[in-house]
């Protein structure tokens, strides 16, 4: 398998790295990939995929609460078995990571297991778990090291029953109570999951709001829904320490009410993630341009060192798997002599709470600041037949359009939002206007009708909702 020289070598086999390897191989490059832990990286092993498997289980359990209204009568109350849920999660992960291995083999990509260390001469040293080393060189190297959970420096964070987003997937039992430190996307998704499974959950967020990137109208509704389900949300809460308190953990935080203590069986640290710079020490010493570990690149994903590229969580960006994959393709195109440029103007953002949330482009506040003539409206799910039939009527589709009908942003909270946002993403990338969406026949009854109706609402002429003003005055 092993060669001494490759056209392209990738460090890290997450969704950025393995996609970069496939693309490089497709373009005819002799390709190698180095992975120190597991194919698929954080996303497939301890991130996107296991979380969605567990969120699916949680949503099914949540939906059982209302099946009586559908004429379905369960003989007894539903119960949850964490051990069986973990088995299902592991089966999903194994299938996905095994698929990555198959893809590497099918594309003739050589896989090196171990920690990859790189220097500016583009020599790669792979150190295996037992200490054995292999070396090879490459014409071009793509750094796809990914990220690791950020653990704040405070007393007690290394104690028992302290989890992060990488380590919360194999619990022996369901926690009775949980404090989630951090109210970003990861914290909100995991809080939603544990709450639906039966855990008492509290979120402590340092900022004035949770889910800060969201459009304010969407965020308010999601917070209201999560609070109604019993999730305690405390903002402006700066956590200062974690300690044992009998059989529970005590979290001390400075809040608007002064110092407060919160108790729970487990603590989940979901503050943020930081770049994984393991193996890049030599490059850093040799001048690799970075900002506290985040490697600086241009729109070709090139670093300041010749022949070395960087992608994914290692660089500044959205921290999303699908963005890392796109960056991987761009890097491989350029590494093999096919010029390509990364465009971050249209990046769909999915949030897998239930209801789901997804958005692309500008929020209403951003649009109003940049484009005073921007028009905004929303269409509620309760007016869409398929949503009513599914008993999924919370939320709306919100569209922000510019002076000439261009889509400036779109925000969806409700059923299947993470899939539906793609139509708006495609429209924005293709520079389509609301006219093209409006003139496209959408099938009935489907959730996608809400997309067209939202555009019609912005134009002041919704079909399945009374207009805000009579047609004649419009």
Q: Which residues are catalytic?
A: 444
Nearest to 458 by CA among 382, 396, 386: 396
């Amino acid at each position: 398998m092993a060669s001494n020289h490759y056209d392209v070598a990738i460090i890290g086999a997450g969704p950025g790295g393995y996609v970069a390897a496939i693309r490089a191989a497709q373009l005819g490059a002799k390709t190698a990939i180095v992975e120190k832990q597991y194919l698929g990286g954080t996303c497939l092993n301890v991130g996107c995929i296991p979380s969605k498997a567990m969120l699916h289980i949680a949503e099914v359990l949540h939906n059982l609460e209302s099946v009586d209204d559908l004429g379905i009568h369960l003989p007894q109350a539903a119960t949850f078995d964490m051990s069986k849920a973990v088995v299902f999660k592991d089966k999903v992960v194994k299938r996905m990571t095994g698929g990555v291995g198959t893809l590497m083999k099918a594309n003739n990509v050589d896989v090196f297991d171990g920690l990859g260390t790189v220097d500016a001469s583009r020599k790669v040293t792979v150190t295996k778990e037992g200490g054995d080393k292999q070396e090879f060189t490459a014409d071009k190297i793509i750094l796809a090291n990914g990220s690791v959970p950020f653990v704040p420096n405070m007393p007690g964070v290394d104690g028992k029953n302290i989890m992060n987003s990488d380590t919360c997937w194999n619990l022996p039992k369901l926690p009775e109570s949980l404090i989630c430190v951090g109210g970003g996307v990861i914290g909100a998704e995991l809080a939603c999951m544990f709450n639906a499974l039966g855990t008492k959950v509290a979120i402590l967020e340092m900022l004035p709001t949770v889910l800060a990137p969201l459009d304010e109208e969407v965020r308010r509704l999601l917070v209201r829904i999560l609070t109604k389900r019993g999730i305690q949300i405390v903002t402006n809460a700066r956590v200062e320490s974690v300690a044992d308190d009998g059989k529970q953990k005590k979290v001390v935080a400075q809040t608007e009410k002064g110092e407060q203590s919160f108790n729970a069986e487990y603590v989940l640290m979901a503050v943020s993630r930081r770049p994984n710079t393991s193996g890049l020490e030599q490059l850093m010493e040799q001048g690799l341009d970075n900002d506290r570990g985040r490697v600086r690149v241009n729109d070709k994903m090139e670093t300041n060192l010749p022949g070395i590229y960087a992608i994914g969580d290692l660089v500044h960006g959205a921290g999303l798997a699908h963005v890392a994959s796109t960056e991987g393709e761009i890097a491989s195109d350029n590494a093999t002599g096919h010029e390509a440029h990364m465009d971050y103007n249209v990046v769909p953002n999915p949030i897998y709470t239930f209801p789901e949330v997804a958005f692309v482009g500008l929020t209403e506040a951003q649009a109003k600041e940049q484009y005073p003539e921007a028009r905004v409206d929303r269409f509620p799910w309760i007016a869409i037949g398929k949503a009513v039939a599914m008993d999924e009527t919370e939320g709306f589709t919100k569209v922000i359009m510019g002076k000439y009908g261009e889509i400036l942003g779109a925000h969806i909270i409700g059923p299947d939002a993470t899939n539906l946002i793609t139509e708006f993403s495609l429209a924005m990338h293709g520079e389509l206007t609301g006219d093209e969406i409006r003139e496209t026949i959408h099938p009935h009854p489907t959730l996608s009708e809400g997309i067209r109706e939202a555009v019609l609402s912005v134009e002041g002429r919704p079909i399945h909702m009374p207009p805000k003003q009579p047609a004649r005055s419009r």
